[in-house]
Amino acid sequence: MHRRTVLQAGAALGLVALSPQLFAAGKLKPGGKAALIVVDVQNCFLEGGTLAVKGGNEVIPVINALAPSFENIVVTQDWHTAGHASFASTYSGKKPFETTKLNYGTQVLWPDHCVQGTEDAALGKELKVPTAQLIIRKGFHKEMDSYSAFEEADHKTATGLAGYLKARGIKTVFVTGLATDFCVAWTAMDARKAGFDAYVIEDATRGIDLNGSLAAAWKQMASKGVKRIQSSDIG
């Protein structure tokens, strides 16, 4: 088949949602206007951590292998105060994974995790992204959570990441890390809101999956135009 025929066949199959670059070449080449965002690959979310995500360690070799394909890399850290508003231990009579109402909406209550300056909050030792240019910390306001690397849970307070990426001419972000259904999903959706193209590299993420939150997050991400790909799509 000629290339044009292939493209037409692709369009007929509804593949127009994929970029022509991806469809035609089979691989996405990130280039200088794209950034890899490595979300919260910290001891707290890894094996033995205070909020360990099942299979969380498995994202590390995938991310390490992706890193050389990116000119721009941003790493994030969940970075809570002691007695943080997202900790169940902050409230009497509340247990981890219950919810409470805070002035910005419903907050899931977590075990104490990723407290600033602790070993639990440090980046995973096996993570190898030496070319990363920015480490952005979030969730450091005691009264407010921030799953997203772009804006805090009030949907008003900016972290500064959108400004940083825009000032550097970045147009597209590829989101990886932990957890798919919380910090990865919120980061990817807020990237769309801030005007970036956003991909989530599924095999470079793992979810917490609290009451169906993983499937719900994929659905919500799709509705916001976040594209779901695999690490093998990047070359």
Contact flag: residue 35 with ligand VGL (CB under 6 A): no
Pick what 183 binds: ligand VGL, Zn ion, none; C-beta below 5 to 8 Å, kind-dependent.
ligand VGL
Contact flag: residue 174 with ligand VGL (CB under 6 A): no
Contact flag: residue 181 with Zn ion (CB under 5 A): no
Which single residue is written with the structure tokens 């050389």? 68
Catalytic residue list contains 54: no
Residue type, position 4, single letter: R
Among the listed ranges 15-23, 25-33, 56-64, 178-186, the one in contact with ligand VGL (CB under 6 A) is: 178-186
Query: At residue 51, what are phi and psi to the nearest 5 degrees?
Result: -140, 55
Nearer residue to ligand VGL within complex by CB, 40 or 151? 40
Distance from the Cα of residue 193 to its chain's centroid? 14
Q: Are strands 227-229 and 197-206 parallel, antiparallel or unpaired?
A: parallel
CA atoms of 106 and 102, how far apart (whole Å):
6
Contact 203, 231 (CB under 8 A): yes
Residues 6+ apart with CB under 8 A from 173: 34, 35, 36, 37, 165, 188, 191, 196, 197, 198, 199
Q: Which of 78, 114, 120, 138 is catalytic?
A: 138
Residues 6+ apart with CB under 8 A from 96: 88, 109, 110, 111
Sign (positive/negative) of CA torsion 91, 41, 54, 174?
positive
Q: Which of 114, 183, 190, 227 is catalytic?
A: 183
* Nearest distance in Å: CB 44, ligand VGL: 8
Size of site (CB under 5 A) for Zn ion: 1
Pick what 179 binds: Zn ion, ligand VGL, none; C-beta below 5 to 8 Å, kind-dependent.
ligand VGL
Write each residue from 100 to 139 as x if it is in contact with Zn ion (CB under 5 A), else as -, in one continuous string. Answer: ----------------------------------------
Write each residue from 186 to 225 as x if it is in contact with ligand VGL (CB under 6 A), else as -, in one continuous string. Answer: ----------------------------------------
Q: Known catalytic residues?
A: 40, 138, 183
Binding site for ligand VGL (CB under 6 A): 40, 45, 78, 110, 147, 178-179, 182-183
